[in-house]
């Protein structure tokens, strides 16, 4: 079978499964999620064996320690995956909710009801836990899923998908609800990007390169996730102790994620007092600072920031720092260099806080809190399939609701125009 034929076959099965899932009641879906969780734990040996092959191949190929760590499965990680499936059971099912209903003057009753998207394609990199998380969330929301993971994790992903899809089928879910593209040929991605016949949406999860490839080449609608060049702006009216805590947390608590801070902006009125304190706190955590001229005058050990730095998502213990002459300059900087992901201000001034919330264009805009809260679980969504950085459909952390669309249902009694 050619790759195109294999994908078409999977696509048709997924479409059929999506039709089945769209009207499956919540109890059945939850039973399947529990069965999947149980199967993961029961068949952990098979999964660990498959993962051992990926790990050995990865070491041979010379993958970085960070990548090997993402790839690694162990008993604890398998139980965590099972646990995350069980947590989905407790979440409300968004499907079937009538979010509004109204009556027209001619007597038509029009309702807007939440329905699954249909078939979701997910293209991701080396984390095998995405396989289980995505499959679980799609099932909970009544969507069929076609998964395409990184080639480094292919054996782990095959084992995981077999275990959970078999368990789901045994619990009464039709075949085709959870499918993995088993070839690692890049041709398969090219085909997926244009598979408008059977994919309703594509969600890329991974680095900037992957996302760019998908956005530039897909004809299937895409939800763009990922890049976060996030700022914290310390205003003239900031509580500087709070600002110090927020800056250190936003930069260092987990620097490799998209909601970590990448550039600190400081109002010139408080720069002399604040920068020495925060620089010291950051230094203790191993952070390198790349500063503007004014920053370097105050923090002599800071390196020089170039224009390039303002655009950079370091995902590392590096921070760009700029002293600004006021609120408007801070807004202009964020507007020019930001990626509309997460932006924060630290201030005690009422009007400045309101202006920042109103005028900054980003998925999440904070007053007096760390940027690290832009996350499905922290927002209370219970699960997350990624963080959207586009404006259509979903923006910010995507929980179960963002994997649904709606349709209008109209009750008539013979109305014509």
Which residues bind to a second copy, rule: CB under 8 A? 19, 22-23, 102, 104, 108, 110, 115, 117-118, 196, 200-201, 215-216, 219, 221-223, 239, 242, 245-246, 248-250, 253, 335, 357-359, 361-370, 372-374, 378-380, 390-393, 395-396, 405-417
Q: Exposed, middle or buried: residue 389 (CB in 10 Å: 0-12, 13-18, 19+)?
A: buried
Dmax over Cα atoms in the chain, in whole Å? Answer: 79
Query: What residues are paired with 387 via a beta bridge?
Result: 397
Output 161 or 259, the one with its CB closest to a second copy. Answer: 259
| Closest CB 82 distance from a second copy, rounded Å | 25
| Closest CB 258 distance from a second copy, rounded Å | 14
SS3 state of residue 162: helix
| Closest CB 47 distance from a second copy, rounded Å | 30
Give the distance from CA 164 to its chain's centroid. Answer: 22
Nearest-Å Rg of the Cα atoms of the chain is: 24
- Do the bridges between strand 119-124 and strand 109-116 make them parallel or antiparallel, or are there none, so unpaired? unpaired
| Closest CB 256 distance from a second copy, rounded Å | 14
> Contact, 372 vs 250, CB < 8 A?
yes
Output 19 or 86, the one with its CB closest to a second copy. Answer: 19
Output 311 or 406, the one with its CB closest to a second copy. Answer: 406
| Closest CB 250 distance from a second copy, rounded Å | 8
Output 61 or 254, the one with its CB closest to a second copy. Answer: 254
| Closest CB 322 distance from a second copy, rounded Å | 20
Query: What residues are paired with 264 via a beta bridge?
Result: 232, 321
Output 75 or 284, the one with its CB closest to a second copy. Answer: 284
Output 268 or 378, the one with its CB closest to a second copy. Answer: 378
Report how far residue 151's alpha carbon sits from residue 35's, in angstroms, rounded to the nearest whole number. Answer: 27
Output 196 or 306, the one with its CB closest to a second copy. Answer: 196
Assigned token pair, 313 = 């998502």
> Contact, 67 vs 58, CB < 8 A?
yes
SS3 state of residue 326: coil
Give the distance from CA 179 to its chain's centroid. Answer: 21
> Contact, 81 vs 135, CB < 8 A?
no
| Closest CB 362 distance from a second copy, rounded Å | 6
Output 314 or 381, the one with its CB closest to a second copy. Answer: 381
| Closest CB 351 distance from a second copy, rounded Å | 14
Task: Give the DSSP letter of residue 222.
Answer: B
Structure-token match 């499956």, residue found: 24
Report how far residue 336's alpha carbon sits from residue 185's, in angstroms, rounded to the nearest whole number. Answer: 38
Assigned token pair, 42 = 């029961």
């Amino acid at each position: 079978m050619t790759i195109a034929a294999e994908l078409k076959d999977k696509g048709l099965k997924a479409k059929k499964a999506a039709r089945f899932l769209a009207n499956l009641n919540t109890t059945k879906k939850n039973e399947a999620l529990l069965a999947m969780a149980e199967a993961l734990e029961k068949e952990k040996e098979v999964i660990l064996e498959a993962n051992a092959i990926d790990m050995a191949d990865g070491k041979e190929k010379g993958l970085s320690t960070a990548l090997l760590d993402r790839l690694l499965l162990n008993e604890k990680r398998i139980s965590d995956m099972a646990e995350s499936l069980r947590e989905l059971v407790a979440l409300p099912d968004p499907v079937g909710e009538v979010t509004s209903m109204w009556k027209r003057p001619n007597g038509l009753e029009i309702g807007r009801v939440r329905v699954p998207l249909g078939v979701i394609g997910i293209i991701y990199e080396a984390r095998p836990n995405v396989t289980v998380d995505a499959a679980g969330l799609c099932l909970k929301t009544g969507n069929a899923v076609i998964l395409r993971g990184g080639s480094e994790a292919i054996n782990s992903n095959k084992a995981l998908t077999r275990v959970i899809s078999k368990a789901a089928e045994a619990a009464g879910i039709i075949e085709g609800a959870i499918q993995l593209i088993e070839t690692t040929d890049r041709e398969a991605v090219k085909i997926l990007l244009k598979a408008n016949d059977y994919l309703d949406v594509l969600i890329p999860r991974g680095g900037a390169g992957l996302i760019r490839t998908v956005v530039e080449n897909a004809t299937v609608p895409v939800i763009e996730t990922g890049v976060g060049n996030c700022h914290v702006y310390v205003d003239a009216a900031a509580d500087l102790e709070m600002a110090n805590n927020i800056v250190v947390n936003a930069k260092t608590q987990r620097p490799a994620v998209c909601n970590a801070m990448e550039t600190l902006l400081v109002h010139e009125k408080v720069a002399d007092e604040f920068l020495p304190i925060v620089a010291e706190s950051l230094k203790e955590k191993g952070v390198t600072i790349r500063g503007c001229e004014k920053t370097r005058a105050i923090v002599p050990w800071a390196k020089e920031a170039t224009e390039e730095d303002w655009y950079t998502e370091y995902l590392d213990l590096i921070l760009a720092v700029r002293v600004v002459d006021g609120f408007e300059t801070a807004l202009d900087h964020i507007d020019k260099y930001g990626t509309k992901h997460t932006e924060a201000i630290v201030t005690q001034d009422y009007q400045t806080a309101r202006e920042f919330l109103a005028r900054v264009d980003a998925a999440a805009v904070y007053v007096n809190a760390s940027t690290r809260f832009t996350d499905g679980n922290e927002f209370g969504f219970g699960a997350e399939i990624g963080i959207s950085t586009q404006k259509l459909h979903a923006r910010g952390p995507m929980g179960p609701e963002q994997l649904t669309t709606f349709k209008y249902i109209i009750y008539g009694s013979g109305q014509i125009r």
